[in-house]
Structure 1
């Protein structure tokens, strides 16, 4: 009987252990993702600020205008990114952390069940030992005492086991209803953010791409300028 009970229990508990590991990993990955997002937009703002303070801006109004437009766009991007990260923190990261906080109580209940099971097995073995002996008066007394000692432990184990076998599948199934709103919110936050990014960078392109050159044309133009620089005597190889 215990073997069949253990098989059912281990199957359900194994699913919850995997769920716990996956939830912790997802929480860790989401935190890393939001931290990387913030670092990215902060770095972009730093780059645009450095470009804006470049000495070229002191002499070239067109360059100054372009860098000013870039700096404004990067700061807008950073603001929207901060808003997105805050939203993800509230709707995804925090719920993941709260969900993970339930598992220690579950694991403690499993440990209590395991302790009761060990007591149950020990007392069951004691009963079986007396049952195998010759049925003398003293043996029958000890057998009766062993059965009396076993009964409450057996009842306790069966109650703990039944409760866990009833509730573990329900807890496992609840993950869908719990996390679905979180991941829908994650998608919405990303959609809003990238929609705004499209607007910001479209406006930026209109402001700085007045020449209308393609990337290939810009690359050739840059290479030509670099060739001219290399021809200067101050950078010529000895």
Structure 2
């Protein structure tokens, strides 16, 4: 959305002060930014949970592929390690699904519901703008007759124009006051609305990563029998690879 002030003819009488218009535009612009940010956050949260699920599903697939590796048929130690890994990945996936479900209910759904309020707000602003245009048009009409010579027919038309203007003016003033009163309240309510959601998000993440720490600590105890460092494992792997490269079946022609 973008704020575009409506402009028609310029009546001599300033029916809405510049201060009021500035206040209105400032408050509405804040709500426009809030709407954009809410929609973006909703989109990013959905992408984040989708990526989380894809990650844990991929990890389960990898562990299943490793478990079906031919090495498991002839190496009991490797089979035991891969079985432990497969169990850990399935547990991780299960806890991840619980976390995503919790985030969906406590963060993503509330964001969507909050975004659903803005169309009504924007419609109220459009109705206010339409009322303002009607007010300006009829005010200009009254001023036109006020400038003319005060003959009988002109006075009749002036009276009719003023009668036509009165309810339109009142309608605009009601709509304008309501929005000026309620837009700041709506904007400030965002903190109370979203704070429980973000607290729930933090709790869900804390629970999940605590469980992940426990799962991978247990996994490390099960498979890290040799107690080698990453550097030692890297050197060991390079040594094994060098042995493979020395085989005649993989030698360069």
TM over 0.5: yes
Moved more, 167-176 or 131-140: 131-140
* Paired positions, count: 235
The whole-number CA distance in structure 2 between the counterparts of 1:164 and 1:77 is 49
What do residues 108-131 of structure 1 show as CA deviations (whole Å, max 9, x unaligned)?
Answer: 111111111110111111111222
Q: Note the C-alpha offset of 1:132.
A: 2.0
The whole-number CA distance in structure 2 between the counterparts of 1:117 and 1:50 is 68
Unaligned runs of 5+ in 1: none
The whole-number CA distance in structure 2 between the counterparts of 1:7 and 1:143 is 32
Unaligned runs of 5+ in 2: 1-18
Alignment partner, residue 13 of structure 2: none
The whole-number CA distance in structure 2 between the counterparts of 1:181 and 1:171 is 17
CA RMSD of aligned residues (A): 0.8
TM-score between the two structures when normalised by the length of structure 1: 0.97
What do residues 213-235 of structure 1 show as CA deviations (whole Å, max 9, x unaligned)?
Answer: 00001001111111111111111
Q: Note the C-alpha offset of 1:137.
A: 2.4
TM-score between the two structures when normalised by the length of structure 2: 0.91
The whole-number CA distance in structure 2 between the counterparts of 1:141 and 1:231 is 110
The whole-number CA distance in structure 1 between the counterparts of 2:82 and 2:222 is 10
The whole-number CA distance in structure 2 between the counterparts of 1:150 and 1:237 is 95
- Which of 109, 113, 129 pairs up with 1:98? 113
The whole-number CA distance in structure 2 between the counterparts of 1:222 and 1:144 is 98
**SS of equivalent to 1:162:** helix
Alignment partner, residue 71 of structure 1: 86
Q: Note the C-alpha offset of 1:146.
A: 1.0
Considering fraction of residues, name the structure with more helix: 1
**SS of equivalent to 2:228:** coil
Moved more, 135-144 or 10-19: 135-144
Poorly superposed stretches of 4+, deviation over 6 Å:
none
- Which of 16, 24, 27 pairs up with 1:9? 24
Moved more, 214-223 or 142-151: 142-151
What do residues 129-157 of structure 1 show as CA deviations (whole Å, max 9, x unaligned)?
Answer: 22222223222222211111111000000
What do residues 56-75 of structure 1 show as CA deviations (whole Å, max 9, x unaligned)?
Answer: 00000000000000000000
The whole-number CA distance in structure 1 between the counterparts of 2:169 and 2:199 is 46
What do residues 43-68 of structure 1 show as CA deviations (whole Å, max 9, x unaligned)?
Answer: 00000000000000000000000000
